[in-house]
Structure 1
Amino acid sequence: MTYESSVMAVKMFEFSSKEELFSFNANIDCPYCTKPVTASQHHLSTHHLRCAIHYSENGIGKFSIPCFCPEERRGKRSHWHCTKCTKIIQRSSDFRLHLSNHGMVMTDKPQDGEETSMDNTYVSDTPEERPPCQKCDSLFATPPNFRQQSKQQNGKHEQPMLCVDAKNGIYVTPKDSEGTSILIHICKSLVAQSFLCELDSCREFMSMAAQSGNPGKECFHLERTKNARCYSPPPPLCNASLEEMAEKGILSKSRKDECMALVSRAFMEEVDCVFPVFWEENGPERFVYFSVFADQNEVWCTFGRTCVTLDTKFGKWHCQCPDANNAQYSCIHQHLCMWWVFQERPCWRQSATVNRMVEMEEIPAKIMKTDDIL
């Protein structure tokens, strides 16, 4: 069988066990690679299974493997074929998000000897013999699936969700389930009947679900609100702190007036102008995030708020607004957060040093030195 014919004849990307992967591709050229190579167990294990993404669908453990086939070549980079739709995803983090939007539950890679599938596992016909979840009363046929459910229900893999605007139902949560906790805003307001996520991929997923007859389907960011922290107002910004910053020459009089005006508008809207967000209990405390009132509704501030990030290790400031890209001055949102730091965390501005740029994925960044506020 030639390479081209094997690719056309055999193309499967989702498996329930490694044995299924090995048997399905036995005695053929690897359909997932660009060059003809025998799909041996060693090749499949080292080039595909090693990088597989594991997840659970309806309580059944499954995994998808990366592909290098000619259908979507990007240099030497691999890609992922979604078996739930026809999309081809380039990055593993985006593929995890895509699978989550399809309702899959991301799981850890099984340990050696732990069966990924239920195919070879005895399933009792007696419900009482199946371990029940203590929180949702679901019954699970195998201990691995029960352990995964327990971890999820106990919040060990649950990303944090924090309410920053109780009036309008605005929350903040990490964009991804892994890696740096880049902040995004979502809106879930029962009063206004607004259930929105700022990510285009999530909006597309919910729109597709509504067209398919499931208008109540939410992306996994919105689903996190069931475990959200209750709203607790942050310390208010004091004018005396801003006056002291102006006296020290940290900001101009015109920028001081702009900051005070935006704080006043936030007060009139009955929302917090600057809301600090700390994820240190869920990861490293290097990055501190601020949800900042923008009084606009643009792409960079979908729900009238934008995100400002402080890298406490290198003293770098990042903001999503277009003004943050101006090399001549810092945006008003960064100055508002500096106001909060100057007032509430003077140790940060005293100890921060700046010696190089730190890139943050997918955040348009204007770098501002924290020692400028000393």
Structure 2
Amino acid sequence: MAAITLADDLTHLIKIVAAEENSCSLCDIGFETVEKLHTHIDRVHWTKRVDASCLHRLGQGHVVPCRLKCMQSVDKDRRSHYHCPICSKLLRRCGTFKYHLFNACRNSTPREKSKTLHFDVQAESKSKKQRKECQKTYSISHCLPRQRRDAHKLPAVCIDPRNGVFMVSQSSNSAAPIHVTKHLIKGIIGCEDKDCISIFEILKDINPAVDCNHLHSVQNAHSIANIALGDKALNSLVEMNLISSATSEKCRSERMKSLDSNAPLVVYANFEAFGISNRYKYYSILTGQNTHSSPSERVRVTFDVEAGSWSCLCSRKTGTCLHITLAKWYVFQTDPELISSVPR
């Protein structure tokens, strides 16, 4: 059986791997229930995936390990191994495969579809159609890789141009944005995605110039106007008993910090211009705390318009954090009709 080791997300992986009833095509093992099969795919294959989105020719693909008898030396114990989607080479260890994928095989010429690697039929036919159309527009062959790369750019908006802070969709299948920083003059470059951080750590001593698709996408980011928050809206929140007087003083303190640092306190990242659903509203909140996973010193707050609920990516799991309160302040000043859906 041919191994399918490239998938967009977990749902896509389950769809193509669990094609046969209660059987995993990456292990050739059957399971009693569908639930056990899905749990197996998640724990054994998806958790050990390698994000290949940095390779623009692959788009947002994730390479998952295969446990079929593809290698003569692993027939006995069925050790996991990886199929390179570019040159079809088989490698055992995850670290070795990452080095091969992002360094040794990065600039190699893709071969024809491997005998041990089958892509989705519809996606493959669509890709061939796109390449055919591109050849009509771009007569010079070396222009094609850049055109394919630009086609996979993610929606991005500029949050803080002075400090080079952007919000970019995490993937083509997930509109939820992440913060990235890219300021060439100040020498600040960073991405919050965990997979990208892992890749950067692996390649920092090999090829420090490697960037991810998130950083590449900010080149065409949309600009967003900075809106200063006023006391009138904040006082109205106190009068409506949506926040306490003590909380309002904390909000004013955060506003002073943002003015001192010359950075916007709250920015609404409008992704509707990219054709993304307006159910979720995303706000970038200044935290002033620089961490390894958040070099932008900002955090994302999300408002679900249909459910009327707020969520924040900060460490606080329950209740309303100060970041959500700052986002409410912004919403009440710019779009007060939404405040009726905000839980008290």
TM-score by length of 2: 0.64
Q: In 2, are the aligned partners of 1:317 and 1:334 still within 8 Å (CA)?
A: yes
Q: In 2, are the aligned partners of 1:300 and 1:320 still within 8 Å (CA)?
A: no
**Which residue number corresponds to residue 331 of structure 1?**
321
Q: Distance in 2 between matches of 1:202 and 1:185?
A: 12
Residues 183-235 of structure 1: CA deviation (Å, up to 9, x unaligned): 211111112212211123212223333422x22111111111222223x3232
In structure 2, do the counterparts of structure 1 residues 65 and 243 end up closer, same or farther at CA, with 3 Å as the change threshold?
closer
Are 1:171 and 2:166 matched, yes or no? yes
**Which residue number corresponds to residue 248 of structure 2?**
256
**What is the deviation of 1:115?**
9.2
**Which residue number corresponds to residue 290 of structure 1?**
283
Q: Distance in 1 between matches of 2:235 and 2:126?
A: 64
**Which residue number corresponds to residue 317 of structure 1?**
310
Instruction: Name whichever structure is richer in helix by fraction.
Output: 2
Residues 107-132 of structure 1: CA deviation (Å, up to 9, x unaligned): x9554994978xxxxx9xxxxxx645
Please say which structure displays the higher CA radius of gyration.
1
**Match of 2:222, SS?**
coil
Q: In 1, are the aligned partners of 2:168 and 2:218 still within 8 Å (CA)?
A: no
Structure 2: runs of 5 or more not aligned: 7-23, 31-50, 71-79, 96-100, 111-118
Question: For 1:190, which of 173, 184, 194 is the aligned residue?
Answer: 184
Are 1:244 and 2:236 matched, yes or no? yes
**Which residue number corresponds to residue 214 of structure 2?**
221
**Which residue number corresponds to residue 270 of structure 1?**
262
Letter of the 1:226 partner, please give it: Q
**Match of 1:211, SS?**
coil
**Which residue number corresponds to residue 23 of structure 1?**
none
Q: Distance in 2 between matches of 1:299 and 1:54?
A: 22
**Which residue number corresponds to residue 92 of structure 1?**
none
**Which residue number corresponds to residue 3 of structure 1?**
none
Structure 1: runs of 5 or more not aligned: 1-9, 16-29, 37-52, 72-78, 90-98, 118-122, 124-129, 141-145, 353-369
**Match of 1:371, SS?**
coil
Residues 58-79 of structure 1: CA deviation (Å, up to 9, x unaligned): 97999978846499xxxxxxx9
Letter of the 1:273 partner, please give it: L
Which aligned pairs between 1:113-152 and structure 2 lie closer than 5 A?
114=125, 131=136, 133=138, 137-139=140-142
Letter of the 1:182 partner, please give it: A
Q: Distance in 2 between matches of 1:222 and 1:13?
A: 28
Q: Distance in 1 between matches of 2:293 and 2:63?
A: 34
In structure 2, do the counterparts of structure 1 residues 64 and 277 end up closer, same or farther at CA, with 3 Å as the change threshold?
closer
Q: In 1, are the aligned partners of 2:169 and 2:176 still within 8 Å (CA)?
A: yes
Letter of the 1:178 partner, please give it: N
Are 1:371 and 2:343 matched, yes or no? yes
Q: Distance in 1 between matches of 2:4 and 2:142?
A: 28
Q: Distance in 2 between matches of 1:341 and 1:292?
A: 13
**Match of 1:188, SS?**
strand
Q: Distance in 2 between matches of 1:227 and 1:197?
A: 17
Percentage identity across aligned positions? 22
Letter of the 1:163 partner, please give it: C
In structure 2, do the counterparts of structure 1 residues 197 and 80 end up closer, same or farther at CA, with 3 Å as the change threshold?
farther
Letter of the 2:82 partner, please give it: H
Q: Distance in 2 between matches of 1:267 and 1:87?
A: 49
Q: In 1, are the aligned partners of 2:285 and 2:298 still within 8 Å (CA)?
A: yes
Aligned residue pairs, count: 272
Q: Distance in 2 between matches of 1:112 and 1:195?
A: 33
Q: In 2, are the aligned partners of 1:33 and 1:67 still within 8 Å (CA)?
A: yes
In structure 2, do the counterparts of structure 1 residues 341 and 64 end up closer, same or farther at CA, with 3 Å as the change threshold?
closer
Question: For 2:205, which of 195, 211, 216 is the aligned residue?
Answer: 211
**What is the deviation of 1:285?**
0.9
Q: Distance in 2 between matches of 1:191 and 1:228?
A: 18
- What is the CA RMSD across the aligned residues, in angstroms? 4.5
Question: For 1:304, which of 297, 300, 309 is the aligned residue?
Answer: 297
Q: Which structure is richer in relative contact order (CA contacts within 8 A, separation 6 or more)?
A: 2
TM-score by length of 1: 0.59
Q: In 1, are the aligned partners of 2:65 and 2:83 still within 8 Å (CA)?
A: no
**Match of 1:306, SS?**
strand
Q: Distance in 2 between matches of 1:196 and 1:151?
A: 24
